[in-house]
Amino acid sequence: MRHTATALLIVCALLAACARGAAAQQQQHITLTIEAADGAVLVRGPQAAVNEARAAVDAAAAPAWTAEQARAFILSNFAGRGLDALVFAEASAQGGKGVSRVETSLRRALLLGLLPPVEGLPEDAAAAVLDAAGLRHITRSDWDALSGGGQYAAIARDRRPLAVLAGTDPHDAAIIIYLDPDAKRGETD
């Protein structure tokens, strides 16, 4: 009798663990790119909702839509499901796989040709040099203050490389983030 009860308890615990795992998987956030006629929409949210959104857009013949139309469709049909949709203004599908990121020190970034010379400059002068070089930039503190979605939006805004600088000392950290315009449709989590 006692053995039967123990076995039942173990079976119940296993079932509960499996159910929790399945729920966690359902809640796992992924990022997916949906192609449209003039660009792409990056959808981020719980895996199940994102997959449903993709199926719905595919069923509604999305390639004929503009990216803005596809985004509006997703946001109106999946309101309250925790989805975040961003429109890429240029190029075609762009998923998280197209994002490459170099994290190094400022001096090393200069020696590798990733940034123009900004060592030792005050913040406004460094910003002017980076602007003139066609690089978008943000300070490390502002970057850390952004949410995950905010960081993604900052990266995806106009597809130019983004420099995240902690300062202009040679040993200050520098992150340079690139979006590959030729990246193919991809899924990331």
Pairing label, strands 84-88, 99-105: unpaired
- For residue 112, state whether it binds another protein (rule: CB under 8 A): yes
Q: Is 181 among the residues that bind another protein (CB under 8 A)?
A: no
- Stretch of 15-23, 45-53, 82-90, 113-121 contacting another protein, by CB under 8 A: 113-121
Dist CA 77 CA 62 (whole Å)? 14
- 10 is a site residue for another protein (CB under 8 A): no
User: Between residue 117 and residue 176, which ones bind another protein under the rule CB under 8 A?
Assistant: 117-122, 124-126, 128-129, 131-134, 168, 170
Largest distance between two CA atoms of the chain: 80
Does position 81 interact with another protein (CB under 8 A)? The reply is: no
* Residue showing tokens 């980076």: 130
User: Does residue 110 interact with another protein by CB under 8 A?
Assistant: yes
β-partners of residue 67 are none
Distance from chain centroid for Cα 117: 29
Closer residue to another protein, CB minimum distance, 81 or 107 = 107
Q: What is the dihedral of CA 138, 141, 143, 146, to 10 degrees?
A: -140
Residues that bind another protein (CB under 8 A): 107, 110-113, 116-122, 124-126, 128-129, 131-134, 168, 170
